[in-house]
Structure formats: structure tokens, C-alpha cells
């Protein structure tokens, strides 16, 4: 069952549309929980203060692609036999396959296959994509205005690839990564995150970039400061932790989103070893409709290590130094 807001969202319909998106999120979590073996009968453990206990270290590493592959266009789920075969093929993919699939990420020019940690399994729900809404498993198209902004950024980047550090993407600058979020997407490595909680706060620590996001649960109002990670507020909806984040900066730019992106994350423990992580992106200025991703994160006993990436890291010196060398070479060739 899927509920979607298909009409364009104007100021007069925004609150109603957001309400439908929230309802859709609740329905999707309930549906997905039933798809995880044993989830229907699972009794969520509680903390000493009575809240669902989400604490522990979890991994978003998964072989399931973000968007549904064209060859599986009409297939939302794999059978058990198909899932085993799909996992086998994904595990055997080469470094070059990964580079082609992630051609937009500059980092894929930096390492070879030894360094990647993509995970060993597909999603526990056996879905063919992490995008679960729209039902076609694809991220909705950008609006014409958002596409124009994306094209302008790409054109500028082509003309000014490394005039200064500000011309590089946030990953190059060690400011933010798709896996660090919010939202948190699987990436090449360091997909672990740790949750700690007390009665008033939930803390989400990401291994990548090692940011710690502290989410108040007391309903306090948001401030007016825009932040790289936005401004998060949490609440409990039954056994599900709902985290709503607003006030992003215009540089965060998640897959073309604007600074007014409204992000809703849902964390639901559906077994001892699986934490269902789901997020919905609602940004009518950027996307033609809201869209939802679902990742069954797996519990891990691995240790969390510091990802010692910083904005002055050696790769930035290399990138900028290489750009200056290329400029000198070009100037010399013209003389």
C-alpha cells in the first residue's frame, strides 16, 4: 500500500500534503516490517525509562541499489532464489563496474577494489531498490528550476574544477558524505552508525566523517540558524523514532534539494539484528514528488573507528596543486 502526493504542492496545500506524506511513512514502515522474517511477532526491547531500545551499532552496507535497475522495472521484490543469485552476481562485480555505477563520485578515481566495503547481502526485505516510493523504485525527476540549478553547478564545476577548495564537493572537503547524512545512504565504506539514547535525547554517531547528531525529544522549537546537517527534532510514534530535520544550508544540496528540504527519518527495530531505517524527502521546489528510501540496517559487533578526514587533508593539497600544475602546463604550451 502506497500513498503519494501527486499534485503540485502550493502554499495552500502544503500542510495537507505533508500530513499525507507522514501518513504514508507510517504505512510503509508497517508494510516493510511484515516483510522482514519474524518481525510481526517481534517484541521491541525497552530501556529502563520505557522507550524502545534502539541502542547499538548498525550497518547500512547493502548490495541493493538505491534505484531499481531497468531490467527489473516491473519487479519490486525478488524471490528467495532470485535474491541468492542476485547477491552472488553483485559480490562478483568488479571495481570497474562500481566506477561505472557511481560515475558522479570523484572518489571512485582514487582507490582500487581492495578498499571498498559494500556489504555482503541485499536488503532483508528482498526489495529490488532502496527507493520504495514512488512504486517504480526511482527517484522522481527534478523540477525544471532545480534541473537548471544543477546544470549551472555542473557547468561552473567544469570551468572551475579547483580554483579553490570551495569549488570541490563536500566529500572532497570532508564536510559531509551521503553515508553521514542526514539522510544516511549506503556508500563505499564506513557505513556504520551508533545510536545512544536517554529519556530526553537520542544521539546518532556516524563512522564516516564521525559527526554526532544529538536529537532532542522534548518538542523544543527550532532556531533560525541553517546548518550543514540541518536542525533535527525527534518524537516517538509507537515503537518508531521519528526525526524531522529542517534548516539545511543551500550548500548541502542533497541530490539537488534546496535549503528548504524537509526530511523525515523513521527508525524502527523489527528484530534483534535489524533496525529499519527509512527517510522521506519532501521538497516541492526541487522534486516533482516526495520520495522515500528504506534500508534494513543490520546490527554489527564491529568497533567504530574515527574517520580522520578533515578539510585540510592531504588530498585537497594534491587536488589544488595538481590544478595549478595543469594551469602552468597549459600556459607553457600557449607560449
Q: What is the pLDDT of residues 117-126, one digit of tens each?
A: 888 899 999 9
- pTM value is 0.84
The whole-number average pLDDT for the span 246-256 is 93
Residue 146, judged by CB atoms within 10 A of its CB (0-12, 13-18, 19+), counts as buried
Rounded Cα–Cα distance for residues 128 and 72 (Å): 7
How much is the pLDDT for 307? 82
Q: Is the pLDDT of residue 265 over 70?
A: yes
Residue 17: predicted pLDDT: 41
Residue listed under C-alpha cell 565504506? 189
pLDDT at 96: 55
**What is the full DSSP assignment across 35-69?**
HSTTGGG----B-TTSSB---EEEE---SS-SS--
Q: Which range has highest mean pLDDT (246-260, 300-314, 315-329)?
A: 246-260
Most confident region among 23-32, 107-116, 162-171 by mean pLDDT:
162-171
Q: Is residue 243 a contact partner of residue 261, using CB atoms and an 8 Å limit?
A: no
Query: Which residues, 6 or more positions from 269, have their beta carbon under 8 angstroms from its beta carbon?
Result: 42, 44, 45, 52, 53, 54, 239, 275, 276
Quote the distance between the C-alpha of residue 104 and its chain's center.
16
Residue with the bigger pLDDT between 178 and 75: it is 75
pLDDT > 70 in the chain, percent: 83
Q: Which of 67, 68, 63, 66 minimizes the C-alpha distance to 86?
A: 63
Per-residue pLDDT tens digits for 187-237: 888 999 999 999 999 999 999 988 899 999 999 999 889 999 999 999 999
Residue-wise pLDDT tens digits, 5-30: 223 333 333 333 444 444 444 444 55
Does residue 108 carry a pLDDT above 60? no
Amino acid at each position: 500500500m502506497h500513498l503519494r502526493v501527486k499534485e503540485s504542492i502550493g502554499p495552500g496545500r502544503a500542510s495537507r500534503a505533508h500530513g499525507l506524506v507522514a501518513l504514508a511513512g507510517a504505512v510503509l514502515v508497517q508494510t516493510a516490517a511484515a516483510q522482514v522474517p519474524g518481525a510481526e511477532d517481534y517484541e521491541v526491547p525497552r530501556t529502563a525509562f520505557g522507550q524502545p531500545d534502539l541502542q547499538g551499532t548498525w550497518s547500512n552496507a547493502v548490495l541493493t541499489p538505491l534505484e531499481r535497475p531497468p531490467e527489473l522495472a516491473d519487479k519490486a521484490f525478488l524471490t528467495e532464489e532470485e535474491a541468492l543469485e542476485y547477491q552472488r552476481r553483485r559480490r562478483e562485480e568488479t571495481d570497474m563496474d562500481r566506477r561505472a555505477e557511481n560515475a558522479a563520485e570523484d572518489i571512485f578515481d582514487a582507490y582500487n577494489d581492495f578498499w571498498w566495503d559494500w556489504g555482503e547481502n541485499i536488503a532483508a526485505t528482498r526489495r529490488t531498490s532502496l527507493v520504495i516510493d514512488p512504486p517504480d523504485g526511482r527517484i522522481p525527476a527534478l523540477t525544471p528550476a532545480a534541473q537548471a540549478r544543477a546544470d549551472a553547478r555542473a557547468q561552473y564545476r567544469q570551468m572551475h574544477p579547483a580554483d579553490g577548495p570551495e569549488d570541490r564537493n563536500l566529500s572532497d572537503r570532508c564536510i559531509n558524505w551521503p553515508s553521514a547524512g542526514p539522510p544516511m545512504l549506503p556508500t563505499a565504506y564506513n557505513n556504520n552508525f551508533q545510536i545512544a539514547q536517554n529519556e530526553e535525547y537520542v544521539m546518532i554517531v556516524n563512522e564516516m566523517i564521525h559527526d554526532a547528531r544529538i536529537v532532542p525529544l522534548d518538542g523544543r522549537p527550532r532556531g533560525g540558524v541553517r546548518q550543514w546537517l540541518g536542525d533535527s527534532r525527534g518524537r516517538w510514534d509507537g515503537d518508531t523514532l521519528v526525526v524531522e530535520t529542517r534548516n539545511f544550508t543551500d550548500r548541502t544540496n542533497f541530490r539537488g534539494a534546496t535549503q528548504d528540504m524537509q526530511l523525515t527519518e523513521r527508525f524502527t527495530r523489527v528484530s534483534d539484528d535489524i533496525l529499519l531505517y527509512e527517510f522521506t524527502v519532501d521538497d516541492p521546489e526541487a522534486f516533482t514528488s516526495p520520495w522515500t528510501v528504506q534500508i534494513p540496517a543490520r546490527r554489527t559487533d564491529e568497533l567504530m573507528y574515527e574517520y580522520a578526514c578533515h578539510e585540510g587533508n592531504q588530498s585537497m593539497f594534491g587536488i589544488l596543486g595538481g590544478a595549478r600544475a595543469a594551469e602552468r602546463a597549459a600556459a607553457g604550451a600557449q607560449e
